[in-house]
Amino acid sequence: MKYYVLFGPPGAGKGTQAGAMAERFHLCHISTGELLRSEIAAGTPLGMEAKALIDAGNLVPDEVVEGMIEAKFDSVKGVDGFLLDGFPRTVAQADALKDMVARRGESVTACVSLMIPDALVHERIAHRAQLEGRADDARDEVVSNRIQNYHSKTEPLIAYYKAAGLYCEIDGVGTIDEVRERIFKVMA
């Protein structure tokens, strides 16, 4: 089984590229953000707990997302692997992922990192706010908080996956097709 981490700042294009990547390489796409938004929409206790944190641009607790990921690993069959979009977002989550995958006798295949400059992050999120109407894209202070959380809590994963020899950085600036071709080339 393949275990790909799809990494990048908010607005880098992870959600945009994930579908094509999953289809091309027969992977199950798991977006923790999407799973959390479904829990909120369904009004579950987990969703209620996560909503205030997400609406403020903060991360939900590591154990919550780790539990969601492991449940998917346990239940999804008939794929060649998993494409993790928006997970891990902290070093603790990356350690938990390493352990979860090791318990299955496997290891993380690669961290595919979509990189865009900070200036473009704001532009892309403003554009997405108009298209998708996500509450956490609509307010400047929430977007800024997410970017700050990315820099302080998530960016250390670049060094983490570089040290593990798993880090593949892709230029995320360009058309959707151009970026997809770059990704396919490193995954092939």
Binding site for ligand AMP (CB under 6 A): 10, 32-33, 36, 53-54, 57-60, 65, 86-87, 89, 93, 136, 146
Q: State the catalytic residue, choosing from 2, 72, 98, 134.
A: 134
- Residue number, 47 or 81, with CB nearest to ligand AMP: 47
- Nearest residue to the partner ligand AMP, using Cβ: 33
In this complex, which beta carbon is closest to ligand AMP, that of residue 144 or of residue 181? Answer: 144
- Clarify whether 139 is annotated catalytic: no
Please report which residue ranges of the chain form alpha helices under DSSP H.
Answer: 14-25, 32-42, 45-55, 62-75, 91-103, 118-132, 135-138, 140-149, 156-163, 176-187
Task: For residues 3 and 45, give the distance between their C-alpha atoms in angstroms, rounded to a whole number.
Answer: 29
Check 2, 51, 98, 128 and give the catalytic one: 128
Among 37, 89, 180, 182, the active-site one is 89
CB of 111 to ligand AMP, least distance (A): 14
Residue 26, Cα to own-chain centre: how many angstroms? Answer: 18
* Known catalytic membership, residue 14: yes
Distance of CA 135 to CAs 79, 138, 172, Å?
Answer: 33, 5, 24
Active site residue 89: yes
Residue number, 67 or 185, with CB nearest to ligand AMP: 67
Nearer to ligand AMP, 109 or 154 (CB): 154
Q: How far is the CB of 84 from ligand AMP (least distance, A)?
A: 9
Q: Please tell me whether the peptide bond between 61 and the residue prior to it is cis, using omega within 30 degrees of 0.
A: no
Residue 103's contacts (CB-CB under 8 Å, 6 or more residues apart) are none
Least distance from C-beta 188 to ligand AMP, angstroms?
26
Q: What are the beta bridge partners of residue 5?
A: 84, 111
* Rounded CA separation 150/144 (Å): 10
Residues 126, 128, 132, 133: what is their CA dihedral angle, to the nearest 10 degrees? -10
124 flagged as catalytic: no
Any catalytic annotation for residue 134? yes
Residues acting as catalytic residues: 14, 89, 128, 134, 146
